[in-house]
């Protein structure tokens, strides 16, 4: 069975991609980057989600000699010209401080009416092979931003993004409901046939 490495130390992402690939009938031995603890994290120096995903996938493929998958994602707010975008995880200055990022974004949008609070989650998922072959696909989850956080599920900006056609935020959805419509789920599902094509 072909081993595939996912460029994350987040077990939830590994579980999510494993479920998506299994749903396509593709049999791979999927492991996270924590299976290779000596490999350093890659600096995300790209200026797009796709560039960052490819940087991580290529670095992991080179380091392990195995096919590698990586993703990069974030929140894009229309009235902010697509920001925070690739800076979503460090919008308030410290990488991964969800509460601070959320508070800063809500403060910046405090005077913006509901009609102008359109936003979307974007995700680029990349597959890189050790020989340099690469593919990138993208997924989006369209919605609007609430004025206050609601819900306890998910992470990041989930408590303020209300998907189009729903009355709940992403943080109020069950994991399976979120995976069915999420930007990451969409990107990984689009990547699955690419993985099947290149590794099949």
Q: What is the CATH number of domain 3-199?
A: 3.90.950.10
Nearest to 139 by CA among 86, 191, 194, 87: 191
Active site residues: 72
CA angle 133, 122, 58 (to 5 degrees): 25
* Tally of CA atoms within 13 A in the half-sphere of 142 that contains its CB: 3
Q: What is the largest CA-CA distance in the chain?
A: 54
Residue written as token pair 């974030």? 74
Bridge partners of residue 126, in order along the sequence: 70, 136
Contact predicate 42/56, CB 8 Å: yes
Question: What are the tens digits of pLDDT across the range 115-129?
Answer: 999 999 999 999 999
Q: Assess contact for 79 and 117: CB atoms under 8 A.
A: yes
Q: Are 173 and 91 in contact (CB under 8 A)?
A: no
Task: Determine if the pTM surpasses 0.75.
Answer: yes
Taking the chain (200 residues) in runs of 10, the rounded mean pLDDT of each run is 88 81 79 91 93 97 96 97 97 93 97 97 97 97 98 93 97 91 92 87
Q: Rounded to a whole number, what is the distance in angstroms from the first to the last CA of the chain?
A: 10
Question: Domain coordinates of the chain in residue numbers?
Answer: 3-199
Beta bridge partners of 163: 143
């Amino acid at each position: 069975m072909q081993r595939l490495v996912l460029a994350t130390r987040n077990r939830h992402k590994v579980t999510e991609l494993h479920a998506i690939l299994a749903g396509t009938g593709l049999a791979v031995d999927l492991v996270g980057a924590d299976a290779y603890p000596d490999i350093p994290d890659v600096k995300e120096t790209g200026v797009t989600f796709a560039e960052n995903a490819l940087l991580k996938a290529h670095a992991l493929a080179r380091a392990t000699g195995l096919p590698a998958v990586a993703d990069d994602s974030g929140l894009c707010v229309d009235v902010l010209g697509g920001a925070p975008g690739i800076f979503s995880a460090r919008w308030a200055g410290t990488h991964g401080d969800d509460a601070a990022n959320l508070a800063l974004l809500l403060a910046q949008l405090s005077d913006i009416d509901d009609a102008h609070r359109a936003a979307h989650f974007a995700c680029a998922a990349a597959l890189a092979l050790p020989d340099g072959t690469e593919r990138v696909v993208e997924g989006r989850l369209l919605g609007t931003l609430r004025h206050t956080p609601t819900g306890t599920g998910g992470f990041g900006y989930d408590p303020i993004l209300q998907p189009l056609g729903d009355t709940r935020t992403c943080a109020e959805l069950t994991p399976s409901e979120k995976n069915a419509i999420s930007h990451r789920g969409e990107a990984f599902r689009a990547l699955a046939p690419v993985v099947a094509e290149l590794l099949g």
